[in-house]
Amino acid sequence: MAAELAKAGTCEREAAQNALALRRVFETTHAESCPTCYNFHMHTVCSDGKLHPETLIQQAIAIGLRGLAITDHHTVQGYQIAQSWLEEWQQQHPTHSSPTLWTGVEINANLLDVEVHILGYAFDPHHPSMMSYLLGNSATNDDYQAENVIAAIHAAGGLAVLAHPARYRRSPEDLIPAASRLGIDGVETYYAYDNPSPWRTSPLQTVQVKQLSKTYNLLNTCGTDTHGLSLLQRL
């Protein structure tokens, strides 16, 4: 029995780092994917959110999410807690469907002399390249440069995505081409910039970012950027 449980846990952790499977999801992500089918941007009390990781994954199951990632700032502690809770829940409910929980993190970085946020997904959290980015604080010096953040995520087997590209002091028309030249995999195309209720992707920014992602052959992702107590809202 113990061996079976250990094997199940290993399978879940392998799924959490399956970048190819996640890439396939991103290739089919659209404006209606979030927040009730997929959600790839959310925070817990392990960084600046209000949800405990266990509560977050319970909500994900209740909503019926097919896949998600916890993207706390500079830590994977929330993911680790949620993954352990999910593995135990799956063992207790073997006939119930459950979401895939990929590894995730949100990292501050310098791009074109502007601070941006880069989301890392499906990476090995124990890979040496990620160590300076999972210490709970923003990296400094060379580690703070966007090209090095992207390279670190790739070295750990993951995908790198520019978060909410229309929220910065420079325009998406500047930032997305620059990020593309550095090898970024995707952009957070479907995002609610004005925090509407119910959640919906912002139409003008979506058209703008989607066109740029098409031009530069980038993946499109979606997320609520939840910091509050509901995965269906940002705040």
* Tens-digit pLDDT profile for residues 85-136: 999 999 999 999 899 999 999 999 999 999 999 999 999 999 999 999 999 9
Which strands form 186-190's sheet, in the order they lie side by side? 104-111, 114-121, 159-162, 186-190, 219-222
23-47 pLDDT tens trace: 999 999 999 999 999 999 999 999 9
Q: Which two tokens stand for residue 26?
A: 């991103």
Other beta carbons within 10 angstroms of residue 186's beta carbon come to 25
Spatial CA neighbour of 198 closest among 46, 62, 32, 4 = 32
What letter represents residue 202's amino acid?
S
Question: Which has the closest alpha carbon to 65: 192, 231, 197, 234?
Answer: 231
Distances from the Cα of 178 to the Cα of 172, 183, 205, 213, 226, angstroms: 9, 9, 18, 12, 27
pLDDT band at 10 (very low <50, low <70, confident <90, very high): confident
Burial of 92 (0-12, 13-18, 19+ CB in 10 A): exposed
What would the pLDDT profile of 41-90 be if each residue is shown by its tens digit? 999 999 999 999 999 999 999 999 999 999 999 999 999 999 999 999 99
Instruction: Inform me whether the pLDDT recorded for 5 exceeds 80.
Output: no
Give the helix/strand (H/E) hosting 190: strand 186-190
**How far is the C-alpha of 80 from the C-alpha of 206, rounded, in Å?**
32
Q: pTM of the entire structure? A: 0.95
For the segment 174-223, what is each residue's pLDDT rounded down to a tens digit?
999 999 999 999 999 999 999 999 999 999 999 999 999 999 999 999 99
Structure tokens at 62: 């209740």
Provide the angle, in degrees to the nearest 10, between the axes of the packed helices 172-181 and 146-155.
50
What's the rounded Cα separation, in Å, for the pair 145 and 150?
9
Residue type, 121: Y
The mean pLDDT of 148-177, rounded to a whole number, is 98
pLDDT for res 11: 76
List of residues 6+ apart from 203 with CB closer than 8 A = none
Q: Which residue has the tokens 């949620």?
A: 82
* Residue 136, C-beta contacts closer than 8 angstroms, at least 6 positions apart: 47, 74, 75
The pLDDT value given to residue 7: 53
Would you state the pLDDT for residue 13?
Answer: 78
Give the number of other Cβ atoms within 10 Å of residue 80's Cβ: 17
What domains, with CATH codes, occur in the chain?
2-222 (3.20.20.140)
